[in-house]
Each structure stands twice: as C-alpha cells, then as structure tokens.
Structure 1
Amino acid sequence: MISQNDIDTLLSGRGQVLASDGSKIGSVGQVYLDDQTGDPSWVTVKTGLFGTSESFAPLQGANVTGDDVTIGYTKDQVKDAPRIESDGALSPEEEDTLYRHYGLAGHAGTTGTTGRDFLDSDTTTTGTTTNYDRSRRAVGQDTSGPTTDDAMTRSEEELHVGTERREVGKARLRKYIVTENVTKTVPVSREEVRIEREPITNANRGDALAGPTISEEEHEVVLHAERPVVEKEAVPVERVRLDKETVTSQETVTSDVRKERIELLDDSIDGTTNDGTDTTGRRH
C-alpha cells in the first residue's frame, strides 16, 4: 500500500514503474494525491521515445521496492490509458474516465499533484515524518498557475537524437556460367617427301649393283603430321565469400524546439517600472 511516506521515493528521479508481471513500463513522472487522505493515488508514467509521453496509472494496491513501484496492471493497460494532460489538477470527469478504463469504482477527488522539482519548498521534515503542504495542490514542474508559489518555471525543449538499427537490404552471392571464346596458338609439325640423289662411289657401288640391271619397282614411305587436340579441364581459381563492414557517415538532423521566455509586465499607473523601462520593456 502506497502512503505519504513513499512520496520521496517515488519522486527521487530514479524510480521506474513496473507492471504486475515485473516488466518495465516507464519512469515515474508526477504523483497525484488524494484530496481527502493526502495519500498518493495516481502516478504518471513516462513512456515513448525519450519519455515524451505520460500515461496515468492508479496506485491502489501498488508496492514500492527500492526506487521502483510495482502496480497491479499490465503494460498494455497503462499505454492504452486515456490521454490526459499531466499539467495540473485532474477534473472529476477525467478521473472518472481513468477509473472506467482500469475497472475501478468511480471516486472524484484526486485533484492535486506533487511535482518532483519543487518538493524541497513544499515539505517540512519533523523527525522521521514528512509533512506535505496541501494548501497548494497544483505545485508541479510548471509553477506558473494562480495557485502556485511565488516562482515561475521557465522550460525549454532539448533535442535528443539517437539512432535505430533497421534492415535496409540484402546481398547474396550467385554463381552462373558464361561462355567466352579463347584463342591459343600451338605449333604443329608434318612430314614432307623430298628426293635425295647420291653419286655412285666405291662405298655404295655394291648396293647399287645388288639388284637386276634394268627393272621396274616402287618404293614408298609413310608421311606423318601433327594436328591440334583440344581438351578442357575444370580447375579452381579462387574462393569468394560475403563479408560486412560498417561505414560511418554524418547526417544532420533538424527539428524545431520550443523555449519559454519570461517578460515583465508592470501595471503601474505611470507605465514605468523602477528600473526605467516602460511596460513594453523599452528603456527610457
């Protein structure tokens, strides 16, 4: 059960809101107090990119463990909650809408908030008991309303740029066959006939007179020639594989951010402030 003693823990800036199954929903934003009991009854959960969205979640039956608070609802229930601006008191109609969403009995009366940035000025500590000043129910991160203290908060939007990893394409290797014409020159040889004549000498006279004196006869020789022979053989020439490398480039992101400005408006009779400027800010 969440009580006033848990408010400091909830607003420590480190706390996370956990679903009933223990999964993280988001960080603690603001805590809304019950007008009658002063106990925390609602918490806003910062979700979305950079925590820019806040959803209301009931603290009934919630438990605080360390800096975190576990509620009795699922992450989807919180993220699907009605969109209500966490900029001040909850109206009875807004609170009834939230009770219907979470299946709770209607109870209009939680109209105040306790903001993280202004707890120091709104609390007094006596022993171990923290007493919260309930005379200003709308004290929050923006103290610019008629029921706030004597300070005004000036806020600015900051641009936070991150990166996300997503699939942009696929690459694959495919092997296919092409045919190309290859020309090579190879030397070939052949035998040709030529007639050799030698005179009769004492050395070959015996061979010359061995046969008949006059006769008819034939003598033949076999001629040889080389011709090109083509053979093809498949041989490995290289190994090819896919690899990835990370290339970093610079991209410029441009976005509009809002900044609050504070000006002095003086309703004095002569239209002049003590520092010599008129109500429009022009110096005399």
Structure 2
Amino acid sequence: MITREELADVLDHPVYDGDGNKIGDAKHIFFDDMTGRPEWVSVKTGMFGSHESFVPIRDASLVEDHIEVPYRKDQVKDAPHVDVDAGGHLSESEEHRLYDYYGINWDSVLSEAERTDDGRWAAGPGTAGTAGMAGAAGTAGTTGRQDAADRGGMRGDDAMTRSEERMHVGVERHEAGRARLRKYVVTEEVQQTVPVRHEEVRVEREPITDANRDQALSGPEISEAEHEVTLHEERPVVETETVPVERVRMTTEEHIEDETVRGQVRKERIEAETEGMTEEDIRRNRE
C-alpha cells in the first residue's frame, strides 16, 4: 500500500504492471469521501497520453521511481471510460462498474470502509462513498483537485500552485509500402542495313586483232563448244550474343515534410474573489 507520505511521489510518475510493462503516467489521485483513503489513480495511456484509465490504488506500491499495480497493461488500457463530473467525483454506479471490471468485491470495499487502520488516514467509520478527485483526507463529501498531499492546494506559505498541461509531440516509424526490382524478358524488332555482294554474268566481245589472231584460229573452223562460269553471292547471317549493359539497384532517401498536429491541453487559472468588492475592483485585480 502507498502511504500518505509517498503520495507526493506518485503523480506524473510512470505506472508499470507486474510484468514490467509501462502503462502510462499517473495524473490524479481519487480519495474516498467517507474514509479519506486513496481509492483510485488515473493513468494517462495511449499515444501522447490521449486516454485516461482508472486503476485501484489499494494494492499498488511505489518501487524506486515508478508505481507498480497488480493488473496487466492491456487490462488497464481497456478499463471502462469514466467521465468525472465538474466537482471531481466518481458516481457510485461508476465505482461499481470499475470494481466489477477489476474483479473487486463491493462488499469487501464496504467492510474496509468500516475499519480504521493505524491512524495514517484518520478514517472515520462508515460506508465507502463516492471518491472525490484527490479530496482532503478525513472529510466527507469534499471535492477538489489535489494532485498529491497539498499539491495544487494552499500551502503553509499561503501560495497556490497553478499547473497546466504541455503537449509533447513525437513521431513513430511504421511501414508505408514496399518496392521491388523485377527483371523480365521482352522481344523487339531490330533493323540494320548491311551491304551484300553477288556475281552476275557479263558477256564481253572483242574484235580480232593481230594480238589475238593466233588464239582465235587455234581451234576448228566450225564447231560447237560450251563454257560454264560459277556465280557467287553474299547473304546476311544473323547471330546474337548476350552482353551486360548496366547495373540496377534500389536505394531509399528520406524527405522531410512539416505536418501540423493539433491537440487539447488543460490549464488552471487562479482568480481572487473578495466579498464586497465591486465589479470594477474585480476587473482591475484580473488585469
């Protein structure tokens, strides 16, 4: 059990489950109006702490720099959503719903409310009423925000602490798509002009001269003869060969873009109220 002296070290500290998984950060302590004992702690969960879950604090313990509760992380995150009224109270039906969800017997809660412990809580007898949001211990029905003992309330130096929420925006990396290189074969027509040669028959005639007369008269005077000539031609021959032409690979490059993130944060305001002051006096004090 967390003692009253340890309450100041509870808020804004991490909350872990029994397996060492971080659930979120503790934001508010809820006290029972009848006994003054702390009953619930609200935990900011989800991305950027956008969700607030309620966890019983009766079996929680302060371990070094964090709070440890005997409930699983997913169980806490899926706890019933509860809207706290403007006075900072949980209704009895809402408490019933939370107790049922965490498997806590309502009769045992009433029995504990009728007992007093060693005096640390100064609890009086009675049944467990609605839990006020960090209400003052030992006062029935009081409401108001007290983030821990005296935190956010009036201190011994008559000063009041004003708090506000700050929005912290982070980024997470996730898979956006896939790209791959695929090689396949296509056939295309290629045209190329190449010169080819062929032989044709040409008949040449020459007159009888003194130079060729002897050759011309060497044969019979009248006869039949035949002479054959072989003709040649060139034809194009096509061959293919495979040669490497380039290397292709895939790389990634990062591009940075600005994206606007909107959220809601709560701020506390402090105003002084004095009985008997005129509206003009109040306006000047606000300025």
How far is the alpha carbon of 1:38 from its aligned partner?
Answer: 4.8
How far is the alpha carbon of 1:238 from its aligned partner?
Answer: 2.7
1:83–1:255 Cα change, 3 Å: closer
The separation in 1 between residues aligned to 2:28 and 2:207, in whole angstroms, is: 127
Query: 1:32–1:110: 8 Å Cα contact kept in structure 2?
Result: no
Q: Does 1:138 align with 2:144?
A: yes
How far is the alpha carbon of 1:50 from its aligned partner?
Answer: 1.4
Gaps of 5+ in 1: 116-131, 142-147
Aligned equivalent of 1:30: 28
Q: Which aligned pairs between 1:80-99 and structure 2 lie closer than 5 A?
A: 80-85=78-83, 88-99=88-99
Q: Does 1:5 align with 2:5?
A: yes
Q: Which aligned pairs between 1:56-75 and structure 2 lie closer than 5 A?
A: 56-75=54-73
The separation in 1 between residues aligned to 2:197 and 2:146, in whole angstroms, is: 105
Aligned equivalent of 2:115: none
How far is the alpha carbon of 1:133 from its aligned partner?
Answer: 6.8
The separation in 1 between residues aligned to 2:53 and 2:90, in whole angstroms, is: 13
How far is the alpha carbon of 1:57 from its aligned partner?
Answer: 0.8
Q: Does 1:183 align with 2:191?
A: yes
Query: 2:28–2:134: 8 Å Cα contact kept in structure 1?
Result: yes
**Higher mean Cα deviation, 83-92 or 211-220?**
83-92
How far is the alpha carbon of 1:186 from its aligned partner?
Answer: 0.6
1:193 corresponds, among 195, 201, 210, to 201
Higher relative contact order (CA 8 A, sep 6+): 2
The separation in 1 between residues aligned to 2:43 and 2:269, in whole angstroms, is: 28
Q: Does 1:251 align with 2:271?
A: no
SS of match in other structure, 1:41: strand
How far is the alpha carbon of 1:184 from its aligned partner?
Answer: 1.2
1:198–1:66 Cα change, 3 Å: farther
- Superposition RMSD in Å: 4.0
How far is the alpha carbon of 1:173 from its aligned partner?
Answer: 3.5
Query: 1:36–1:109: 8 Å Cα contact kept in structure 2?
Result: yes
Q: Which amino acid aligns with 1:187?
A: P
Q: Which aligned pairs between 1:119-268 and structure 2 lie closer than 5 A?
A: 138-140=144-146, 149=154, 160-194=168-202, 195=204, 197=206, 200=209, 207-208=215-216, 210-253=218-261, 268=276
Aligned equivalent of 2:52: 54
What is the TM-score with the length of structure 1 in the denominator?
0.68
Query: 2:35–2:137: 8 Å Cα contact kept in structure 1?
Result: no
Aligned equivalent of 2:40: 42
How far is the alpha carbon of 1:160 from its aligned partner?
Answer: 4.6
How many matched pairs?
256
1:256–1:197 Cα change, 3 Å: farther
SS of match in other structure, 2:48: helix
How far is the alpha carbon of 1:21 from its aligned partner?
Answer: 2.4
How far is the alpha carbon of 1:257 from its aligned partner?
Answer: 6.5
Aligned equivalent of 1:17: 15
Query: Identity, % of aligned pairs?
Result: 50
How far is the alpha carbon of 1:167 from its aligned partner?
Answer: 4.2
SS of match in other structure, 2:94: helix
What is the TM-score with the length of structure 2 in the denominator?
0.68
Gaps of 5+ in 2: 110-127, 148-152
